[in-house]
Amino acid sequence: MADAIVVNGLERAFGEVHAVQGIDLTVAEGEIYAFLGPNGAGKTTTVRMLTTLLLPTGGAATVAGRDVVKEARAVRASIGVALQEAALDPLMTGRELIRLQATLQGIPTAEGRRRADDLLERVDLAAAADRRVGTYSGGMQRRLDLAAALVHEPRVLFLDEPTTGLDPVSRKTIWEEVRALNDAGTTVFLTTQYLEEADQLADDVAIIDSGRIVAEGSPDSLKAEFGNPHIQLHLADGSVAEAEAVLAPLGKLLPPRDGRCVEVEVPNGAADIPRVVRALDEAGIAVESLELVRPTLDDVFVSKTGYHLEEESEENAEKAPVDG
């Protein structure tokens, strides 16, 4: 199978800030590839370089077999792009936007109109097609953005955080559409800060942190590489430090999620639960609840970066929405 995206040592610096620091990746044709990382990790900067919106300061990349710098226009003819924060004109109607996108892609007027009608129907916006985009909900705007990216039937589709800020129902709708597109043969490169999204959708995942890829592989292989399950304990009185001291000899402690929770990776899974509970009981530490947790992408993320992704993303989001 041919490669849809090949990236070698790609870099981008903004003055002294090195947003992307020499990343390498390969995305096979027909694959869904997820770029997972918190805000500010370099996801959006990478997407902007791959979609020819930003010149790299080092390295090289090809998309659909074309160089993103030397053959930028040929790259743009092969890709569909739905960027973070749907870039829509609130004064246009949905139908006007899709028709304009068709014109930008060089599609003849009559054909563009037909495709606009089909796409609006497909993303369930036919009834709202002649309303101004400013009156659409967030989910409707994302679906419209997705439809606009598909008007020329691109070989490679870039989705930059397609579901950030959406409610669960709208998120599921976007996921279904992405799967359907992929089933029809479209290669999808998506960035996300949601572990579940990467786990559910992607054939391959790259974890990016501070501009570097720290892990890459299929979700299953990454989790298998991580290895053992861990026990998550919620303490009744929040004596985390004491509990960690007791549990340290029994397994590997993971970074705490909050002030009342301790996580310890154990070698024998469920068989280790009695040992852990007994040790805490003997130390007089009351456990409110416990859970055996199989490895997740978050565990992989923690093991590679030292912090939890979704907590970090939420904190960043609260501080300020920045380039991902």
Partner 1 sequence: MSALATNARVVKALGMRSVRQTFRRPQLIAPIIVFPTVLLAIQTGGASAAVNLPGFPPVESFLQFMLAGAMMQALMLAGNSGGIALAVDIEMGFTDRLFSAPIPRFAIVLGRLAGTAALGLFSALWFLAIGLIFGASIEAGVAGALLAIVLVTASALAVGGIGAAIALRTGSASVVQGLFPLVLVVLFLSSAFFPQELMIEPAKTIAEYNPLSFIVEGIREPMISGIDATDTLYAVLAILGIVIAGLLLSARALRHRLRVG
Residues that bind partner 1 (CB under 8 A): 14, 45, 48, 51-55, 73-74, 76-77, 79, 81, 83, 85, 87-89, 91-92, 96, 100-101, 103-106, 108-109, 132, 148
Q: Which is nearer to partner 1, 14 or 307 (CB)?
A: 14
Q: Across the chain, where does the E strand assignment appear?
A: 3-14, 17-28, 32-36, 58-63, 66-67, 79-82, 156-160, 187-192, 204-209, 212-217, 230-235, 252-253, 261-265, 287-293
Q: How far is the CB of 97 from partner 1 (least distance, A)?
A: 9
Q: Which is nearer to partner 1, 64 or 233 (CB)?
A: 64
Q: Which is nearer to partner 1, 102 or 309 (CB)?
A: 102
Q: Which is nearer to partner 1, 157 or 222 (CB)?
A: 157
Q: How far is the CB of 101 from partner 1 (least distance, A)?
A: 7
Q: How far is the CB of 154 from partner 1 (least distance, A)?
A: 10
Q: How far is the CB of 85 from partner 1 (least distance, A)?
A: 6
Q: How far is the CB of 300 from partner 1 (least distance, A)?
A: 30
d(CA 285, CA 238): 9
Integer angstrom CA distances of residue 259 from 57, 234, 308: 43, 9, 14
Q: Which is nearer to partner 1, 100 or 317 (CB)?
A: 100
d(CA 18, CA 1): 33
Q: How far is the CB of 132 from partner 1 (least distance, A)?
A: 8
The region, left, alpha or beta by phi > 0 then psi within -120 to 50, assigned to residue 81 is beta
One-character DSSP codes across 1-61:
--EEEEEEEEEEEETTEEEEEEEEEEEETT-EEEEE--TTSSHHHHHHHHTTSS--SEEEE
Q: Which is nearer to partner 1, 156 or 280 (CB)?
A: 156
Distance of CA 184 to the CA centre of its chain: 21
